[in-house]
Amino acid sequence: MVIGNYRTQLYDKQREEYQPATPGLGMFVEVKDPEDKLILARQYGSEGRFTFTSHTPGEHQICLHSNSTKFSLFAGGMLRVHLDIQVGEHANDYAEIAAKDKLSELQLRVRQLVEQVEQIQKEQNYQRWREERFRQTSESTNQRVLWWSILQTLILVAIGVWQMRHLKSFFEAKKLV
Amino acid sequence: MGCTASRSASTLLLLLLLLLRAERPQGAELTFELPDNAKQCFHEEVEQGVKFSLDYQVITGGHYDVDCYVEDPLGNAIYRETKKQYDSFTHRAEVKGVYQFCFSNEFSTFSHKTVYFDFQVGDEPPILPDMGNRVTALTQMESACVTIHEALRTVIDSQTHYRLRGAQDPARAEHLNHGPGREPKT
């Protein structure tokens, strides 16, 4: 699970400081999974929180861009973006878990250890998946190289044979052989 | 690990200053795409006397190297390295204010890079706010939990580093076999 929080502040040129909050300034958040499929595409305000859970292992792409056209008026404007992305075990809200499952402090500590171990397991599964995929890719590349070299050899041999026969018929025609 | 690409608005002199979360003084790790001839800066507010650390690593792109520098709020460069593949830097903040760390790919003309960094400020906060205000000593069970937690954190950290180090070869093999694939959005 991935939780992202962001907050934006617009630079006020007159007062030369960042405004505490800018209503009307929105950010568009897009998340793509490793197969380039859009799994989240939403617009949020100047402050927002987005969550997604990955279903396939690999590189996910998180993009934030401003939807505001007001920027075109402010040449040299600056926008301060506070960004916080928590992944895996760090995304857990332990206060909420403690309240929901009514855990004592010690139980909550043990719960955190369990979450950490689960994250380690997930990472190990990912390593196994990646290694297998790497192996498949390498095998595929190897196959292609093999077929290419066989094909190239056959073409070279065929051209050589054709050249010899062509030259032979040429010399015979010229009555040199 | 997610990958973040920030797209600045189409107008000319617009700068996006990225400030890493100011809610919990803990840390942030991010993997972002650094286009060629570009520089990307991040900022963080640090209190005086607090120790912070920055680990970074280049995952894909070119010769896997990047320039990095860290500046304190007064503009002094407290760390500067060129063409490093990975490094780790810790510093105790002498001045309170906004610290800036930048990654530069300005020496490269065509290879865009993916850079991972992990910025930790201060100590890890307790999972419940009350835990920080203890007056009595920890029980044996609690101490054991703390020890195991630290050990597991080390395991997770080394898994992350192993995953990043081992990302180069599969990425190259994919690129060779399946072509460029996902093109970066400019």
Report ipTM for this prediction: 0.74
Q: What's the whole-number mean pLDDT along residues B111-131?
A: 84
Least confident span in A25-29, B128-132, B154-158: B128-132
Q: Which chain B residue shows the shortest CA-CA distance from A88?
A: B1
Contact call for B127 and A59, based on CB within 8 A? no
Residues B147 and B171 in one domain: yes
Decide if B138 is inside a domain: yes
Q: Where in chain A are the domains?
A: 2-91, 94-176
On average, the pLDDT of chain A sits at 86
Residues B74 and B138 in one domain: no
pLDDT of residue B13: 35
Write down the pTM of the prediction: 0.77
Contact call for B173 and A65, based on CB within 8 A? no
Q: Contact A51/A29 with Cβ under 8 angstroms? A: no
Geometric angle at alpha carbon B42, from B49 and B67, rounded to 5°: 100
Percent of chain A with pLDDT over 70: 88
What are the Cα distances from residue A20, in Å, to A79, B90, B106? 12, 31, 33
Least confident span in A35-44, A84-93, B67-76, B99-108: A84-93
Residues B96 and B131 in one domain: no
Q: What's the whole-number mean pLDDT along residues B154-175?
A: 88
- Please tell me which residue, A72 or B113, carries the higher pLDDT value: B113
Decide if B183 is inside a domain: no
Decide if B46 is inside a domain: yes
Within 10 angstroms of residue A114's Cβ, the number of other Cβ atoms is 11
Pair type for strands B15-20 and A78-87: parallel
CATH of the domain at B61: 2.60.120.380
Q: Which of B123, B144, B164 is the last residue of a domain?
A: B123
Query: At residue A24, does pLDDT exceed 80?
Result: no
Decide if B3 is inside a domain: no
φ, ψ at B15 (rounded to 5°): -115, 135
Residue B170 tokens read as 């599969």
Residues B43 and B117 in one domain: yes
Q: Contact B20/B42 with Cβ under 8 angstroms? A: yes
Q: Does B127 touch chain A (CB under 8 A)?
A: yes
Q: Tally A–B CB contacts below 8 A.
A: 153
Strand partners, A10: A79
Q: What's the whole-number mean pLDDT along residues A79-98?
A: 84
| Confidence class for position B22, pLDDT limits 50, 70, 90 | very low
Decide if B181 is inside a domain: no
Q: Does B171 touch chain A (CB under 8 A)?
A: no
Query: Number of folded domains in chain B?
Result: 2
Residues B63 and B142 in one domain: no
Domain boundaries, position B34: 25-123
Q: Does B135 touch chain A (CB under 8 A)?
A: no
Residue A117 tokens read as 């171990």
Residue B171 carries which side chain, given as an amino acid letter? A
